[in-house]
Chain A
Amino acid sequence: MIGVLYPNSGNITSIRDSLQRLDRPYRILSDTNLQGIEQILIPGQGRFATVMDYLDRHGWVPVLREWCAADKPLLGICVGMQILLTESEEDPGVPGLGVFDGKVEKLQTPKTPMMGWARVRWQQPGWDDGAAYYVNSYVVREHPDTWGTTDYGGLFCGAIARGNVRAVQFHPEKSGVWGKEFLNQCLIS
């Protein structure tokens, strides 16, 4: 069973429709009871501080840190990726989960948010080339755990991974057939 963490930021209608299309049983996690949960999915648009505030108030911070330290399956999407880092320029002073050491930076490009399709250059074998849908104003520039990169104002981490803890800056649930197959590969069966 997949547990979907809903940090009250943005809506999860798209990800729920996506899970349904992929025939994946899931449960929206209303508290930190992870009985029967084999993979945690953290979707979301929204603000770093808003999500971290929710996680903090509902006791998720130590639970998620422990889950990731045990290398249990987790997939973060968009801001769900950013909160795994140590900090973000979006909200200085607000600590992230620190699962991946590093900083989320503001895009310094003529147009923000980055909105649209862009290729992901995979750095691990076994993942198909394709274009992913991005909509974000903040990125992780460089990281030893880079899984895939995309260029917008320079290369940034389109995806980051260490063992079973994986996260993507793009929205696979909005990335067409490629995105659907990508999710199918990432999600536990």
Chain B
Amino acid sequence: MSDLLKRIIPCLDVKNGRVVKGVNFQNLRDMGDPVALAARYEAEGADEVVFLDIAASAEARPTALAMVRSVSRALTIPFTLGGGLRSLADMHAFLEAGADKVCLNTTAVKEPETITQGAKHYGSQCIVVAIDVKRQPDGSWGVYTHGGRQSAERDAVAWAHEVVERGAGEILLTSMDRDGTGDGFDMAITGPLGRTLPIPVIASGGAKTPEHLVTAFRHGADAVLAATMFHSGAYHVGDTKRFLKAQGIPVRLDF
């Protein structure tokens, strides 16, 4: 028997300290203040929030850190910061500013030692590795970087195991085939990894309805990441959780 509940995690894309929405990072629209939006999600029952800085750069760093400080003062639930983290110093800066977890993607692939060092210095629980995957012609899943545009020439399952070995505390698994489609998560890869890896797996890419979330949780995801589903206003986090509970999925309802 386990009391551990499944988690719903809204994801906010940010640029220059503002939440943005766009397709393939083009035609970005200012969607508002990240602190206000995250606080609203917290009030609506979100278990955590992920902020993805889609335009991280050295110049934009002070703005990003200021945003993290503001979020840390406002939120009483955990939050993760990802996007453009290249080094231990980068991770340190954002953790010190108040992020509970930092998320590595491209850097993890290009310099896997960063995972090891991050886990060693800050603890595995602070290190999330995002793995973006696409189905391959031979039936396997390949790892991609740069927003799904560049093949890392690596098998997703093998990479996931290496990421675990190096000390990551959590994996954010995004299907780039499903991302933005609203067709539901790719459970053919998310399920097996969620069920077999010894660390939590967050399903990501394709969520559009509460039924998609039920499927993900029933088949091995520990948490789900959703963006458009909630940002569009189509679904309310709290109502979604009540639906999940009614479907037998253990979720936190006291918020």
Q: Footprint of B on A, CB under 8 Å?
A: 10-11, 13-14, 17-18, 20-21, 45-47, 109-119, 129-131, 133-136, 150-153, 173-180
Q: Footprint of A on B, CB under 8 Å?
A: 1-7, 42, 47, 72-73, 76-78, 95-98, 100, 122-126, 169-170, 197-200, 222-223, 252, 254-255
Residues of A within 8 A of B77 (CB): 133, 174-176
Q: Could you say which of A47, A130, A175, A176 has the most chain B C-beta atoms within 10 Å of its C-beta?
A: A176
- Bound: A134/B252 CA distance, A: 13
Given contacts A11-B98, A135-B78, 13 further A-B contacts (CB under 8 A): A11-B95, A14-B72, A17-B73, A17-B98, A110-B198, A111-B199, A116-B47, A116-B200, A117-B5, A118-B4, A175-B76, A177-B76, A177-B255
Which residue in chain A gives the minimum CB-CB distance to B123?
A: A45
Cβ-neighbour of A11 out of B3, B73, B96 (below 8 A): B96
- Bound: A152/B95 CA distance, A: 27
- Bound: A178/B170 CA distance, A: 25
Cβ-neighbour of A113 out of B47, B124, B197, B223 (below 8 A): B124
- Bound: A119/B252 CA distance, A: 9
Residues of B within 8 A of A118 (CB): 2-5
Interface of B is mostly: loop
Which residue in chain A gives the minimum CB-CB distance to B201?
A: A111
Which residue in chain B gives the minimum CB-CB distance to A134?
A: B4
Q: Does the CB pair B4–A152 fall under 8 Å?
A: yes
- Bound: A17/B100 CA distance, A: 13
> Beyond A112-B199, A113-B125, A179-B76, is A152–B96 a contact (Cβ under 8 Å)?
no
Residues of B within 8 A of A178 (CB): 254
Cβ-neighbour of A153 out of B2, B42, B78 (below 8 A): B2
Q: Does the CB pair B4–A114 fall under 8 Å?
A: yes
For this complex, 21 residue pairs linking A to B, each with C-beta atoms less than 8 Å apart, are A11-B98, A14-B98, A17-B72, A18-B76, A45-B126, A46-B123, A47-B123, A109-B2, A111-B199, A112-B199, A113-B199, A115-B169, A115-B222, A118-B5, A131-B252, A134-B4, A151-B1, A151-B2, A174-B77, A176-B76, A179-B76
Which residue in chain B gives the minimum CB-CB distance to A113?
A: B125
> What distance in Å separates the Cβ of B120 from its nearest Cβ neighbour in chain A?
10
Which residue in chain A gives the minimum CB-CB distance to B199?
A: A111
- Bound: A110/B198 CA distance, A: 6
Residues of B within 8 A of A176 (CB): 42, 76-77, 254-255
> Beyond A13-B97, A176-B42, is A20–B122 a contact (Cβ under 8 Å)?
no
> Beyond A10-B122, A11-B95, A13-B97, is A116–B4 a contact (Cβ under 8 Å)?
yes
Q: Does the CB pair A174–B254 fall under 8 Å?
A: no
Residues of B within 8 A of A174 (CB): 76-78, 100
Residues of B within 8 A of A136 (CB): 125
Cβ-neighbour of B254 out of A10, A131, A152 (below 8 A): A131
Residues of A within 8 A of B97 (CB): 13
Residues of B within 8 A of A11 (CB): 95-96, 98
Q: Does the CB pair B76–A13 fall under 8 Å?
A: no
Residues of A within 8 A of B125 (CB): 45, 113, 115, 135-136
Residues of B within 8 A of A20 (CB): 73
**What 5 A-B pairs are tightest by C-beta distance, nearest first?**
A118-B3, A13-B98, A151-B3, A131-B252, A117-B252
> What distance in Å separates the Cβ of A92 from its nearest Cβ neighbour in chain B?
19
Residues of A within 8 A of B197 (CB): 111
Residues of B within 8 A of A133 (CB): 77-78
Residues of A within 8 A of B122 (CB): 10
Q: Does the CB pair B124–A152 fall under 8 Å?
A: no
